[in-house]
Structure 1
Amino acid sequence: MTSPHPALLLPYRLEHTPATAAQPGGVALHRVRLTVGDGPDGRTTWPVRCRGITFDLPHATGASATSDEPVVLRTRLDLPRGPGRGRQWLVETTTTDPAATLLNLTPADPALFDGTWALTLTLDISTPIGAESRVTEDTALGDDSPQRRAGNAHLTTAHDTR
């Protein structure tokens, strides 16, 4: 568990499952699960209005993207349906930086996180991710106008559940 970071309003959990050996001719994939909105112990300030979240996922030390294979191979967004959950979320990935992968998550309508639901993005990636990621959120408490806030989140190792 990495949050809440003092500057961020939303709680984040980033879990990494290391790549297993690839099939001959295949690419070994690391799995990163980004969970937003799980209420960690002691979090009492709800609701949080969100217009978007950006994750800057640096590649692990010594790892870099190669030009002959894509960095991000698959993403899957899990979001329970219901009012106030942003309706439809757009996930955009940028892999042009050989040292990092950038993910932008933008809801069609502002989402209202209240501690009862969470958004989860599963990312299968060929390049290992570094231990600390930069998170930028456009958020506000209650009905206030969202503001840009930035902080860090730390990657934890998870057991392989593929």
Structure 2
Amino acid sequence: MTLLLPYRVDITPGSATTDDAPPRYHQLRLTVGEDGRGRVEQPVRCARITVSVPSATSDPALARQPLAISTTVPSVRSSAQGQEWWIVPDTTDPAVTVFACVPEVPARFDGTWAVSFLIELDPGFESTAVEITEETAADGGPAGSRSSRVVATVLPTTTSEGQV
């Protein structure tokens, strides 16, 4: 089913570290309301967005903790933007972690703004595809749940002092 909102998913891989340092987390940035080609064209009410991320499977040592649940939510300026957003993780399924991005009040995306959420993923995460489910309605229309698989853009790793 076609999503009503445009999404952009970017993954910045964790940078390499020295042998004795723990690996750096990957960062998944979910931008809602624009996708790099433009912004939402018609007003859309949004009550909830979920992002399903497959668990890491390449490193058995990381299998017990598939994702680092560290999230960042930006400030919003008005109730039309959802007043305040929360990210609620669900780790009950060992194969996938679901992050629910929930506004305090339904947000109204109208093309004048977008919101980005940052989720840190453990270094064993290898997939570039996530499942997005939105609970949305075209302005004035009935609410519905829509899902789609979205392939992330992998951004180049940057190195900084103290990193290899």
Compute the TM-score of the two structures, normalised by the length of structure 1: 0.82
Is residue 2:136 matched to residue 1:134? no
Deviation beyond 6 Å, 4+ runs, structure 1: none
Does the CA contact (< 8 Å) of 1:92 and 1:105 recur in 2?
A: yes
Secondary structure class of the residue paired with 2:80? coil
Q: Which has the larger radius of gyration?
A: 2
Runs (5+) with no aligned partner, structure 1: 1-5
| Cα root mean square deviation, aligned | 2.5
Q: Indicate the larger mover: 29-38 or 15-24.
A: 15-24
Compute the TM-score of the two structures, normalised by the length of structure 2: 0.81
Separation of aligned partners in 2, 1:60 and 1:72: 11
Is residue 2:6 matched to residue 1:7? no
Q: Per-residue displacement from partner, 1:137-157 (whole Å, max 9, x unpaired)?
A: 000111223211111111111
Count of matched residue pairs:
156
Query: How far off its partner does 1:82 sit?
Result: 2.2
- Distance change (3 Å), C-alpha of 1:63 and 1:57: farther
Structure 1 residues 1-162: aligned runs within 5 Å: 7-22=2-17, 24-38=20-34, 41=37, 45-59=41-55, 62=58, 65-67=62-64, 69=65, 71-126=67-122, 127-160=124-157
Does the CA contact (< 8 Å) of 2:71 and 2:118 recur in 1?
A: yes
Runs (5+) with no aligned partner, structure 2: none
Identity of aligned residues (%): 34
Does the CA contact (< 8 Å) of 2:49 and 2:132 recur in 1?
A: yes
1 or 2, which has the higher strand percentage?
Answer: 1
